[in-house]
Amino acid sequence: MIFPDKDAMIQKDRFGDIQPVALDNTQIAFSYKSDEDLRKTHLIFSAINAPLLTKAGTKLVKIGLKLKLPVRGILKKTIFQQFCGGESIQDCEPTIQLLASHGVKTILDYSAEGEKNEQGFEKSTQETLQTIQRAKGDPHLPFCVFKTTGIASFALLEKVQAGKELKPEEEASFERVRQRVDTLCKAASEAGIGIFIDGEESWIQEVIDDLAEEMMQKYNQERVVVYNTYQMYRHDMLANLKKAFQRAATHQYSLGAKLVRGAYMEKERKRAEEMDYPDPIQPDKEATDNDYNKALLYCINNKQRIALVSGSHNEYSNQYLTLLMQKHSMKPGDSRVCFSQLYGMSDNISFNLAHAGYNVAKYVPYGPIESVMPYLFRRAEENTSVAGQSSREYRLVKSELQRRRIDNNH
């Protein structure tokens, strides 16, 4: 197995004869897809693989939805079906069962966006509570998730982080935010599952971190319930993770750490430039990758008090984590570690790891098509912009289609 990342190279003298899990078996990766589904996936990724086509298609879909043109049916059978489980929790049931039959767990993610008022925040809270109830007692749904901006005003979080004085009604509103977060974490604790607090923009992230750590101190005493998200594309995030662990150790609770590379890079850079403050983003992808892998090492080295979820589509990072676990004599199914990818992406990673006995959970977004479209547009853009992401998906799907054709001809 060749590892191209020079700084984070796995040295033979460090790992001896330990071998990483191979992630290139397409038969295992796409075993859950019928020939028809695989051809549809091939078509979607061939389109996403063409940036101009993706941009034009995104614009046309936005116009079509705005003008209420009959594009809903086409969307539902293509990009929505590829990346989402359905419009409701009930719609997601076949996906949950299908993934479970291949050893892959599900994280139901209510991905409707644009809630801007108290009524909308309450609706999102109630929907997340329903995902917790669905997960209760089901080993195939070990986690649930929420975005703080789904249950709180972005402007309010920004004002709190900036240290500005709040009006009495804003104080009351922020107290309701704290109560919603507590309600969700308490429900997850009582249901016996974990809950992820998603990462967001740097100018509201500190408030989210404070809320997350407040909940960890309350609910992560006997086991890890609450997980905060660490976006490693920020150059200060490795240090933030270490400080969070030190606070957890001082106050005697366990740290739940979900590591991701991040999702707001262009937005972060643009704001830093416009407002003339230091760019919080890593100088390049290599720096992000190196800090991500150092964070994996730090978490495994401190596994007695850290539960880790590695949310990565990077093959190297996933293989590196399997090697770290083996080096630390951790069994693949160790409950302190879970690998996670988005539904519809990186099946070669998810299904090959699950086949090898590792804990793997797919984020399965759901919600009304119109409300989930911002999420889907980001997935299309992400696959187009991340170097090699859509090319890799396309190449693997194409390879599996060829393998099946050869098998069928024999």
6 vs 195, higher pLDDT: 195
Confidence band of 74 (pLDDT split at 50, 70, 90): confident
Confidence band of 169 (pLDDT split at 50, 70, 90): very high
pLDDT above 70 covers what percent of the chain? Answer: 91
Question: Among 345, 385, 392, 386, which residue's Cα sits nearest to residue 365?
Answer: 345
Mean pLDDT computed over 145-172: 96
pLDDT digits (tens, 9 = 90+) for 204-258: 999 999 999 999 999 999 999 999 999 999 999 999 999 999 999 999 999 999 9
Among 69-73, 263-267, 305-309, 387-391, top mean pLDDT goes to 305-309
Q: Give the DSSP letter string of 174-219.
A: HHHHHHHHHHHHHHHHHHT-EEEE----HHHHHHHHHHHHHHHHHH
Please check whether residue 198 is in contact with residue 147, taking contact to mean a CB–CB distance below 8 angstroms. yes
- Tell whether domain 87-366 is in CATH 3.20.20.220: yes
58 vs 195, higher pLDDT: 195
Region of residue 188 (phi > 0: left; psi between -120 and 50: alpha; otherwise: beta): alpha
How is the chain split into domains, by residue range?
Answer: 25-84+373-410, 87-366
- Please state, in angstroms and rounded to a whole number, the distance separating the CA atoms of residues 279 and 45: 33
205 vs 382, higher pLDDT: 205
pLDDT digits (tens, 9 = 90+) for 75-99: 888 889 999 999 999 999 999 999 9
